[in-house]
Amino acid sequence: MARIEGVVLPGEKRIEIALTYLYGIGLPLSKKVLADIQVNPDTRVKDLTQDQVAAIQKYLTQNFKVEGELRKEVTLNIKRLQEIGSYRGMRHKKSLPARGQRTKTNARTRKGPRKASNVVSNKKVVSKK
């Protein structure tokens, strides 16, 4: 098993797919990285040599922000938007969609499960005699 940027890549997968387990790397970037360091994309992770793993690690750290560094940058950007009071910052603060989607219906992923607010209960009131 290979460990890159603190993430253990699954051994049975092709390296082309396994690199997408890293935050900030999709399939196109994965293909570009492997082409630049001349590693066969069909190679399984378990079949990689230590030199190949080291080359991938070195290439990623020199050329891209991935995993913790990228997550930190994204959270700082969101925090900055909230502090300056921008529209997008307010939407992030209220856990609402920030890019103009409708919220009357849909938006359940962002808003969370429905809250039962105006539910009228039909409980019978027991009167004491």
pLDDT per position as a tens digit, 31-88: 999 999 999 999 999 999 999 999 999 999 999 999 889 999 999 999 999 999 999 9
- Could you tell me the fold of the domain covering 68-111? 30s ribosomal protein s13; domain 2 (4.10.910)
SS3 label, residue 21: helix
Helix (H) or strand (E) holding 34: helix 27-36
Mean pLDDT value of segment 78-101: 94
CATH of 2-64, one of 1.10.8.50, 2.40.10.10, 3.40.50.10490, 1.10.10.10: 1.10.8.50
Report pLDDT for 119: 63
Q: Please report which confidence band the pLDDT of residue 123 belongs to, taking 50, 70 and 90 as the band edges.
A: low
- Concatenated DSSP letters of 53-80: HHHHHHHHHHH---HHHHHHHHHHHHHH
